[in-house]
Amino acid sequence: MRNPQLVVSLACLCLCAPAQAQDFGIRSFDIPTLEKLGHDMHVQNLAAWHASDALEALHARSELIQQKVAGWIVEDQPEGTLVRFIRQSDNGPEAAYDIQYPASVDFARDKPPVTEPKDRQLTDSEKAQFAARTLALKSVTQRCSDSYNTVVLKDPEGDGWLAWALAVTTNPDMIMAGGHHRLTVSADGTKVLQMDLLSRSCAVMEKASGPDGSKVAALVTTQLVSNVPVETFVFLNLEYRIPIIVLTPDRTEWGIVNGKIGRIGTVGEKAGAP
């Protein structure tokens, strides 16, 4: 029996004819890689969010603008996660502030200090990561939001980077399912080698409770760019802690729970498919 306290939220739910070709024009990864990318995106986004709050608690945004602080990079190190804020100088980008999180971090509990590095010079890898972040923001071709967040990770299949421009909304009851871009970027961070639009529309998912106060059991959406859910759905599942069901062009129904992608089944004629 269906739990009356649970509802399913739908986003642009439509059942499309099966795709005839398997080449959707975006880079494809196996499921373990997609899960790891989504997990690492989530961790990096959490680190940048909490670090930004800590920095702005000490320095007003107007002060940071005056100092020409222009963003951040996040580095996974043996001792933990380093969030390094970057500012522009006459000699190019340099380190402005650092926040070092421990290896087993609880972002809600751990509050490491904001420090100023003694050596502000960036390594070649740091320069490349910051360049890839800047490139991602400049390369959004189909805008679905006035604001975009960025995540940059090492390319799991090469010596370059993967950079994401993630559409965000200020509506606390909505989640951007579409509008996200993935860039494959050169090792020096300056060239876009491939641009992948991870959706065909600016789809949103509503996570508000039902009119009777019932909880959202899962978010449901369609995806037309791949027959396997892309990494941004893993990221969103971890960010919002809500299961996500994704319907793909081959009529497969996928569930994403706790950052894991699993096949639920196939949508049949009785579901109303044409």
Give the 3-state secondary structure of residue 10.
strand
Q: What is the pLDDT of residue 22?
A: 55
The answer to the question of residue 191 being in a domain is yes
Q: What is the pLDDT of residue 179?
A: 93
Q: What is the pLDDT of residue 166?
A: 96
Amino acid at 161: W
| 65 vs 271: which has the higher pLDDT | 65
As a dihedral over the C-alpha atoms of residue 215, residue 216, residue 218, residue 221, rounded to 10 degrees, the angle is 170
pLDDT at 20 over 50: no
pLDDT at 18 over 60: no
Q: What is the pLDDT of residue 103?
A: 87
The answer to the question of residue 100 being in a domain is yes
| 22 vs 133: which has the higher pLDDT | 133
Instruction: Kindly report the backbone phi and psi dihedral angles of residue 245, in degrees, each rounded to the nearest multiple of 5, phi listed first.
Output: -105, 130
The answer to the question of residue 133 being in a domain is yes
What is the mean predicted confidence (pLDDT) over 3-16?
A: 42
Q: Cα separation of 160 and 152, whole Å?
A: 10
pLDDT at 21 over 50: no
Q: How many domains does the chain have?
A: 1
CA terminus-to-terminus distance, the chain: 28
With contact defined as beta carbons under 8 Å apart, do 165 and 139 qualify? yes
Tokens of 44: 């990096």
pLDDT at 271 over 70: no
The answer to the question of residue 1 being in a domain is no
pTM of the model: 0.87
Q: 45 to each of 38, 75, 227, how far by Cα in Å? A: 11, 12, 26
**Considering the chain, what percentage of its residues have pLDDT values greater than 90?**
70
The answer to the question of residue 186 being in a domain is yes
Structural domain span for residue 199: 6-271
Q: What is the pLDDT of residue 210?
A: 63
Closest by Cα among 102, 89, 171 to 130: 89
The answer to the question of residue 239 being in a domain is yes
Q: Cα separation of 187 and 165, whole Å?
A: 18
The answer to the question of residue 252 being in a domain is yes
| pLDDT category of residue 43 using cuts at 50, 70 and 90 | very high
Lowest mean pLDDT among 64-78, 146-160, 256-270: 256-270
How many angstroms from the chain centroid is the CA of residue 211? 30
Lowest mean pLDDT among 16-25, 28-37, 174-183: 16-25
Mean pLDDT (the chain, rounded): 87
Q: What is the pLDDT of residue 209?
A: 64
Strands, E assignment, the chain = 6-11, 69-77, 80-89, 92-102, 147-154, 161-168, 174-176, 181-185, 192-197, 204-206, 215-222, 244-247, 252-257, 260-266
Q: Cα separation of 142 and 139, whole Å?
A: 9
Q: 274 to each of 9, 17, 254, 266, how far by Cα in Å? A: 22, 7, 20, 14
Give the 3-state secondary structure of residue 30.
coil
CB atoms within 10 A of CB 105: 17
What is the mean predicted confidence (pLDDT) over 60-70?
A: 95
Please, which residues bridge with residue 83 across strands?
74, 99
Q: Cα separation of 157 and 136, whole Å?
A: 19
How many angstroms from the chain centroid is the CA of residue 182? 9
The answer to the question of residue 185 being in a domain is yes
| pLDDT category of residue 255 using cuts at 50, 70 and 90 | very high
| 100 vs 215: which has the higher pLDDT | 100
Q: Cα separation of 99 and 5, whole Å?
A: 42
CB atoms within 10 A of CB 104: 7
